[in-house]
Amino acid sequence: MINNTEVKFLKAVTVMQTKDFTYITWKELISLCSDLPATDFRTAKEAKTNSAVIGAHDGSAKTKLEVLAHNNFTLLRLDLDDIDYSIDDVQHSLSTLSIQSYIIHTTASHRQGNNKNRFRVYIEIKNGVDFDTWSLIQTYLSYDFEADDCATRPNQVMYLPFKSELYEVRIRSGQPLDLSDQTTQLYKGASEHKKNLDKELLALQEQSLAAANKPMQKQEIVGNQVSIICMVNSSFSWDMLLSSAGFKKVGLRWLSPNSKSGAAAGVILTSNTDGKERLYSHSTTDGFDGQSLDKFDFLMISQYGNDKKKALREIAEAYFPYIDKHNKREYAVNKQNLQITREMEVKSC
């Protein structure tokens, strides 16, 4: 569905809200970023927990599948964290791309502690567009500004600002971007960038064919126990796992927090044998040994020192407590049944 009426975007009271959302216009967003209410939040974390959030769409839900099914994106945004360039530099770069209507504001953690400059950018667009068009431009903008790739996720929300000592906002009013115009410098740059990414992905896919898939870890299952390894591989997303482990997405690749070269060496590729997504990295820093890893392998190596027993125990307790209790009951029942069987065998002798 493409919306040609007034452009609006989803707003939630906090990130925890899951239904009954409201919708705001560009003018209302300007007001929310310029006329900030006084708060008594003591930390940036406390403020974030209580801050309103907005989506880049006008759908009725926040989940990825529902946002993609709605397929009407109404806002472009940039997540700029720990950057060396200034708010003036951001404005200049936007002007270079002929972007005339935008909001730039500092975040709660801007220059706090060891943090560098941190900005959020909102860009007004003329009409709602489908995901392919939105993703084309959004991905290119994130690349061009060296922004966090989280903004390219369709269901990603952005936290609205609150009043703080270092808060600064820049607002420019002008013509909203027409993303249907394929003659603009921005659209041409985005199209060329996508071609380059497609070529890189093909090259990486061919390179990975030479890398062996690490055999899936085996977990001893008794009775009606549920495999924790299978639960990890089917339940977790690569974006969540890698981001939580401190990896940063750079184009198609992922930069390890342990990287000494500063080169992003990890990439998610689809296996040519079983169609599953795996992490391939030629870096030796993280102990991945140039193999293609599934999600459990990645967690076991990166978070649990390659200790399978520890990984199985702690992952089950932390992420799958109900399954953990079920598996322990099954283990106890199986142990008791084995004991009874042995006693009966002894008596029969």
- Indicate the burial class of 93 (C-beta count within 10 angstroms; 0-12, 13-18, 19 or more): middle
Q: What percent of the chain has pLDDT over 70?
A: 91
Structural domain contains residue 330: no
pLDDT digits (tens, 9 = 90+) for 213-239: 667 788 888 888 899 999 999 889 898
pLDDT digits (tens, 9 = 90+) for 178-227: 999 999 999 999 999 999 988 887 777 666 665 556 677 888 888 888 99
- How far is Cα 327 from Cα 338, in angstroms, rounded to an integer? 16
Structural domain contains residue 218: no
- Interval 62-91 mean pLDDT: 93
Same-domain pairing of 173 and 248 = no
Rounded to 5°, angle at Cα 137 from 136 and 141: 125
Count of structural domains within the chain = 2
Residues 6 or more apart in contact with residue 66 via CB below 8 angstroms: 59, 60
Which of 140, 168, 194 corresponds to the end of one domain? 194
H-helix or E-strand spanning residue 50: helix 44-50
Q: Give the residue among 191, 171, 197 at the shortest CA–CA distance from 251.
A: 197
Rounded to 5°, angle at Cα 260 from 294 and 254: 35
Q: Are strands 53-54 and 158-159 parallel, antiparallel or unpaired?
A: antiparallel
Structural domain contains residue 217: no
Per-residue pLDDT at 298 exceeds 60: yes
Same-domain pairing of 254 and 136 = no
- Interval 144-172 mean pLDDT: 89
**Beta partners for residue 103, in sequence order:** 122, 171
- How far is Cα 307 from Cα 6, in angstroms, rounded to an integer? 55
Per-residue pLDDT at 1 exceeds 50: no
Give the pLDDT confidence score for residue 347 in this predicted structure: 63
pLDDT digits (tens, 9 = 90+) for 78-136: 999 888 889 999 999 999 999 999 999 988 776 667 778 889 999 999 999 999 999 99
Structural domain contains residue 162: yes
Q: How confident is the model at residue 149 (pLDDT cuts 50, 70, 90)?
A: confident
- Interval 144-154 mean pLDDT: 89
Residue type at position 23: Y
- How far is Cα 4 from Cα 101, in angstroms, rounded to an integer? 18
Same-domain pairing of 176 and 253 = no
- Interval 279-299 mean pLDDT: 81
Q: Give the residue among 264, 279, 256, 124 at the shortest CA–CA distance from 208.
A: 279
Same-domain pairing of 65 and 182 = yes
Same-domain pairing of 29 and 171 = yes
For residue 18, what are the domain limits?
A: 8-194
Same-domain pairing of 245 and 128 = no
- How far is Cα 160 from Cα 37, in angstroms, rounded to an integer? 11
- How far is Cα 303 from Cα 285, in angstroms, rounded to an integer? 14
Same-domain pairing of 45 and 183 = yes
Ranked by mean pLDDT, the top range of 28-37, 105-114, 289-298 is 28-37
Structural domain contains residue 264: yes
Distances (CA, A) of 258 to 58, 82, 289, 294, 299: 39, 18, 15, 20, 15
CATH of the domain at 119: 3.90.920
Same-domain pairing of 72 and 20 = yes
Give the pLDDT confidence score for residue 345 in this predicted structure: 67
Q: In 87-130, which residue ranges form alpha helices assigned H by DSSP? A: 87-96
- How far is Cα 335 from Cα 341, in angstroms, rounded to an integer? 10
- How far is Cα 52 from Cα 160, in angstroms, rounded to an integer? 6
Residue type at position 193: H
Q: Give the residue among 310, 333, 315, 174 at the shortest CA–CA distance from 244.
A: 315
Same-domain pairing of 77 and 172 = yes
**Beta partners for residue 35, in sequence order:** none
Give the pLDDT confidence score for residue 252 in this predicted structure: 80
Structural domain contains residue 204: no
Structural domain contains residue 212: no
Same-domain pairing of 128 and 264 = no
For residues 39 and 163, the answer to whether their CB atoms sit within 8 Å is: yes
**Beta partners for residue 105, in sequence order:** 120, 169
For residues 87 and 143, the answer to whether their CB atoms sit within 8 Å is: no
Give the pLDDT confidence score for residue 211 in this predicted structure: 59
Per-residue pLDDT at 289 exceeds 90: no
Same-domain pairing of 142 and 13 = yes
Structural domain contains residue 119: yes
Give the pLDDT confidence score for residue 223 in this predicted structure: 83
Q: pLDDT averaged over the chain?
A: 87
Same-domain pairing of 126 and 18 = yes
- Token code pair at residue 163: 């009043």
Give the pLDDT confidence score for residue 3 in this predicted structure: 44
Q: Which three-class secondary structure state does DSSP give residue 177?
A: strand
